[in-house]
Structure 1
Amino acid sequence: MAAPQPTDSSPARTKPRSSLGRALMWPVLAAALGMVLIYNSFGTPVSSSRTAPPVAISSPSPEILGHHAAPAPAMSPQAPVGPSMTRSDPQRLEIESLGIDAPFTDLSLGANGQLDAPPPDDKNLVGWYKDGTSPGERGTAIVAGHVDTKTGPAVFLPLQTIQPGAEVDITRADGSVAVFKVDGVRQYSKADFPNELVYSDSDFSDLRLITCGGTYNKTVKDYEDNVVVFAHLDSYTKG
């Protein structure tokens, strides 16, 4: 999932950090996901407000993620902004407004340099790139999920209907809960995907939720678009 950055408003960000996961472009994420798809001190919860990206959605058919390529190395940010948490692996993702409640699996790069896919036979499972930013940590965390599998609808099928302001809760291994607020949702052609906008690192604690959308191409057995949800860490609770 690569394209020029749109001229409409989107969350402000600086140069990305030097980490493959932190600048990970969807080609690595999605190409590898193949045919199935694919923060600093604790304390009292705090809030941060951001400019939401505009919504650009069409109704997607079910199935998988796209095929895109690898990112450039990133630079350390100069001025961190908003709340953040220390690093901790995600355990469970909940989006009450969509009825989503799913465990996480780790996603890593295979021998071919592409991201391994989550198990294709589990419809209620989301994956995150474990060598990148963890959800709640400063930077951009990438979470991917199936829109469907060969056996039917899957965990991220309703993702395109999420509304700005909706809450995404991620429970982490240290017992803490990172609460993200949705800034907006967009749909991009896989042939013209804005890798830098979606995957570049951030001075905020950002989250991207990604799945497939648009028309299903029976010839190539893949969806033509990707649905991307942009969200930021709004608050958190201790473990």
Structure 2
Amino acid sequence: MPGQHPYDGAPVPAPPPEDRGGAMLMAALILAAVAGVAAVVTGLLIVLDSPGDYGLQSKRDTLDLQAQPEQGGQPAQALFQAPADVPPPLPQITPAPAMLPSTPIRIMIKRLGIDAPIESVGLARDGAIEVPPADNVNLVGWYRNMSTPGEAGPAVLLGHKDTRTRDAVFARLREIKNGDVVEVKRQDKTTVVFTVGGVEQTGKKTFPTQRVYGPRDNAQLHLITCGGDFDRITGHYPDNVIVYATMTSSHRS
């Protein structure tokens, strides 16, 4: 589940050192490159002729940026992909000004049939984010160490995809579309409206910590659940599905 990811990210690696070679070394490299062109072209032709023999058809943690097929033959929207330090995708609508903080109490996504209560969750002893109890399949967790929905910065909500016996609250989260609306009711009797700007599916080993938890000037909502094909050997899903949405309006509940 998404709670297996600690809040802390790995150190950012330093950029490669600048090449300070002299002119003679540069000339030698150019001559070597020219001499190797024929060999490279020949090798590429061999590889492309038998891609399976060279591992080009193996699965990867991240998905290609292309429409994935859905039932009924209709293509799904392209999944968002970018390096982990790239900001979240924004919807094609002007963000609304951020609000004062207020605890979220309910989330509604009409197109997916989601209408669920929200409870506060924190960090477990192992440093991972807690998730709602699995026996309450229609409960969403709000990570209280981040922003509240509508407040400047990312508000993070987590929900189960399924349990051993049935689907859970975020079972259909992967079906959400760019431009869809997510509403969150708050204790101050306001409803905050978010517009989806992108959906990402990423391997848990390459979780985009900075994009999900990094500071932002506008009010954002990040929804997280499990994704990919369930691994019966490990007992876990290999991926996370992450929905990025930005606050675009609000009204009194």
TM-score (norm 2): 0.63
Aligned partner of 1:108 among 122, 129, 137: 122
In 1, are the aligned partners of 2:96 and 2:249 still within 8 Å (CA)?
no
**Kept in 1: contact 2:6–2:127 (CA 8 A):** no
2:194 to 177, 180, 183: 180
Identity %: 42
- Do structure 1's residue 157 and structure 2's residue 171 form an aligned pair? yes
Cα distance in 2 for partners of 1:70, 1:116 equals 11
Q: How far apart, CA to CA, are the structure 2 residues paired with 1:143 and 1:226? A: 13
Question: Which position in structure 1 is the counterpart of 2:135?
Answer: 121
Output the amino acid matched with 1:132: M
- In the TM superposition, residue 69 of structure 1 has moved relative to its aligned partner by 2.8
Per-residue CA shift, 1:152-207, capped at 9, x if unaligned? Answer: 10000100010111000000011100000000111001111221122211011011
Do 2:4 and 2:129's aligned partners in 1 also have CA atoms closer than 8 Å?
no
Kindly provide the amino acid, as one letter, of the partner of residue 101 in structure 2: R
When residues 66 and 174 of structure 1 are mapped into structure 2, their CA distance, relative to the original with a 3 A threshold, is closer
Measured after TM superposition, the shift of residue 111 of structure 1 is 3.7
Corresponding residue SS for 2:128: coil
Letter in 2 for 1:69: P
Question: How many Å apart are 1:66 and its aligned residue?
Answer: 5.8
CA distance in 1, matches of 2:125, 2:228: 31
CA distance in 1, matches of 2:102, 2:96: 18
- Aligned match for 1:213, one of 227, 230, 251: 227
3-state SS of 1:119 partner: coil
Verify the 8 A CA contact 1:90 1:135 in the aligned structure 2. Answer: yes
Partner of 2:205: 191
Deviation, 1:131, is: 2.6
Give ranges in structure 1 of 5+ residues lacking alignment. 1-63, 73-80
- 1:209 is paired with a residue whose SS is strand
Partner in structure 1 of residue 4 of structure 2? 67
Cα distance in 2, alignment partners of residues 103 and 147 from structure 1: 16
Aligned residue identity for 1:234: T
CA-to-partner distance for each residue in 1:110-139, whole Å, 9 max, x for gaps? Answer: 344333321110110100112320011000
Say whether the 8 Å CA contact 1:66–1:225 is kept in structure 2. Answer: no
What is the rounded CA distance, in whole Å, between the counterparts of 1:151 and 1:163 in structure 2? 27
Count the aligned residue pairs: 168
Larger relative contact order, structure 1 or 2 (CA cutoff 8 Å, min sep 6)? 1
Runs of 4+ more than 6 Å apart: none
**Higher mean Cα deviation, 116-125 or 106-115?**
106-115
Q: CA deviation at 1:82?
A: 4.2
Q: Is the 8 A contact 1:180 1:231 kept in 2?
A: yes
CA RMSD of aligned residues (A): 1.6
Q: Which amino acid aligns with 1:68?
A: H
Name the amino acid aligned to 2:217.
D
- Provide the rounded CA distance (Å) in 1 between the counterparts of 2:231 and 2:116: 28
SS in 1 for 2:2: coil
Structure with greater helix share of residues: 2
Instruction: Could you tell me which runs of 5 or more consecutive residues in structure 2 were left unpaired when the two chains were aligned.
Output: 10-94
Provide the secondary structure at the position in 1 that maps to 2:210.
Answer: helix
Letter in 2 for 1:103: P
